[in-house]
Structure 1
Amino acid sequence: MQTRDLDYFQSVATLKSFSQAAQAHHVSQPTITLAIKRLEAAFDTTLFIRDQQHHAIQLTDSGEHLLIHANRILAEMTEADREIRALLAPTISLGLPPIIGRYFFPQFVAQLNQAGILPKITTSTTGSGRLLQLLVTGAINIALIAHTPQADLSNQWNQVGHKQLLASYPFTIIDSKTHPFFPNKQVLTPSDLKQVPIINLSDDFIHASVLDYYLQSDSITANVIFTASEIDILKETVSQGLGVGLLTSLATNPNDNIVAHPITFSEPVAFNIYLVTRKGYVLNPAERQLADFFIN
């Protein structure tokens, strides 16, 4: 049995037309007809009912069952082709969230370059939540991802492959240096956020779900007055005294016009950075070199 025959069969079943399937594959109609006959002979069954009077076709019960398996087989073949090509390619498509890409990854750039890994890397930059989805669906194979277990409401974290913890950073409440909401406090609790205007980060960042987790633990209704799409916008808005925000300590530095207050809570809640790979995927040599670099 040839996979091309299954491909032709899938097209006929989808388009409900031998001629349209032939046009879609740029082959003659007899080529399509012979492929269907080979499949019917191989399975000793009829796959289509042909209504010559109305020029219509429909799948038999056997055809319906074969279509389910054909869809699965052809999808697996497409994925196998992609994975083998990736295995032979000396490149790394690395998922890299904005905060990790800006504040964590650069500290390794010189070493990665010295090891000959850096020139092989191209980055896909989006939030950790979106990167997790891309790993689960197989769109990317390896990523650096921020994850906070307490604030993860999805099941996708359990659907990826190897997970290696690389670093952990605490969350802080950032406040303005010049127009502070908490001028006399160093350490804050979630209850301190009652009725305080909050500048939140968009759902592309895990900060949004972490903030919800903090507030819900004390049954606090968030007074979110603005949602920032970027870290710099968050910092600038907070520095002007318009509200406070939640930000990992990784993304704060002394040059910011903000104060970063530690948070006391009943359990540790951290911005954890993981190296994560796709489940069931064999890393190509370049990807393995990158993984070994971070793990070792």
Structure 2
Amino acid sequence: MMRIQDLQYYLALAELGSFSKVSKQFKVSQPTVSLAMQRLEKELGTELIWRDPGHQQLALTHPGRILQQHAEQMVNHYFLAEEEIKKEAEQKLVLLLSELAELAYFPAIQEHLSDHFFTHLQQRQASTEEALQALKVGQADAAILTSSFPIEEKLVAEEIPHPDLQLSEDKVLPAFPLTFVYREDRLQGPDLTRILAELKAAIATASARDFTLISKGNKPSGV
């Protein structure tokens, strides 16, 4: 299996023309660089580097020049992929939940969220006032709230269908809104857009099916 590090040594050797200079640049021993070149030649089944009998000069063979062209792209693509993966892993959807939403409804929603989603989730409990302020100043991306609130220009609010909650056999909580609210301008990047889309899909599935499992109040007549 070809190693990215070996290709980095190879490209440096093609540029510097000296094993000692490559070992100095990467702070490794010359035998380490030599072994890397031997691995590449063995893997490709051809001589990549021409060395004069006195080992005072070296040059790339024709196969060696072909590898040089492709190695530059391979190394560049590797580090681009590494950077994108790192950025993707660092993306966090900051989701705020009211106490009631966290206790009674989010457990049903999270059943439909992937493990990938939770690697990007930063979840906190907050009052409606705290959540709206955090959304306003850009400290949060979305919230699930259980009380009425004014809708600001930057916010998108979507009502979530849900059953009434029954505290006991004879006590039902008064009707309240369950609302998913988010800042669309904070979710323009493709990664957070996908994360938000997954959350919205989970909410839709839960509200259509799993919320019915929550203890609820009296059903309307005919149901």
Q: Same fold per TM (> 0.5)?
A: no
| Highest RCO, 1 vs 2 (Cα 8 Å, sep ≥ 6) | 1
More strand by share: 1
Output the TM-score relative to the length of structure 1: 0.34
TM-score, structure 2 normalization: 0.44
Which protein is bigger by CA-based radius of gyration? 2
Please identify which structure carries the higher helix content.
Answer: 2
